[in-house]
Structure 1
Amino acid sequence: MGLFDIFKKNSGKGDGEKKKPSSIAKWAEYAGSKRAQAYDRQEAIQELSKQGTAEAVEALLKRFTFQIDPSITDQEEKEAAFEGILKAGREAIEPVRAFAMKAESINSPLRVMKSILEEEELVDELLVWLSRWDTEYAKFIDPKLQLLEELGERKHPKIREAVEPFLEDASDPARFNAVVAVLAQQDERSLEPILKLLLDEESTRIRAKIANGLAELGWEIPDDQRDPVRKVLPPEFGIDGEGKIKKR
Structure 2
Amino acid sequence: MALEIHQFPCLSDNYGFLVHDSESGETACIDTPDGEEYLKQAKAKGWTITAIWNTHWHPDHAGGNEAIKAATGCTIIAPQEVERISTIDHVVSDGDTVSLGAHEARIIDVGGHTNGHIAYHMPDSSLAFVGDSVFALGCGRMFEGTPEQFWASLERLKALPADTALYCAHEYTQANARFALHADPGNDELVAYGQEIGRKRAAGTPTVPTTLERELATNPFLRADDPDMMARWGGDAPHETFAALRAAKDAF
More helix by percentage:
1
Structure whose alpha-carbon radius of gyration is higher: 1
TM-score (norm 2): 0.28
More strand by percentage:
2
